[in-house]
Amino acid sequence: MPLAKIVYASMTGNTEACADIVADKLEELGWEVELDECTSVDAEDMTDADLCIVGTYTYGDGELPDEIVDFYEELADVDLSGKIYGCFGSGDTFYDDFCICVDMFEAQFEKTGATKGAELVRVDLSPEDDDETNLEAFAETLSSHFDL
């Protein structure tokens, strides 16, 4: 069974809720899913997965959350050639740089040799019905790169 690794940072629970939606959909599609809070894993752990996913919130005026900075910095040095990646995040449209940390993670993944498997998903605060639909479609698109 292929392995999807989802690493997330969540202060208010919004990004964790998004991660749960993605994890549930992938499990429904036949994936083994490891869902980890970012402080409990190293970026190197992504090498064990077929599908590498990061979910993060954007803090303040576009800063990475403190708890995911180490993971972010380590990620650029990991060889994920042959892997598929995806990124999602939560933020607040009140800020000019809405969910910019999702873009920052996409740029880090590009350094790893991994292939982008789906468009980024941005959620305003907590996931609503439309967001849940988008996150499930994100999971389906990522999964479509594999024969299950």
Residue 15 scores a pLDDT above 90: yes
- The model's confidence at residue 111, banded by pLDDT at 50, 70 and 90, is very high
Is the distance from CB of 80 to CB of 46 less than 8 angstroms?
Answer: yes
Q: Is pLDDT at 148 greater than 90 in this prediction?
A: no
pLDDT score of 75: 98
Look up the pTM and report it. Answer: 0.97
Specify the pLDDT at position 132: 98
Alpha-carbon span 80 to 61, nearest angstrom: 30
Distance CA 43, CA 55 (A): 13
What residue segments make up the domains of the chain, in order of their start?
A: 3-143
Q: Which CATH superfamily is domain 3-143 in?
A: Flavodoxin domain (3.40.50.360)
Cα–Cα dist 31/23, whole Å: 9
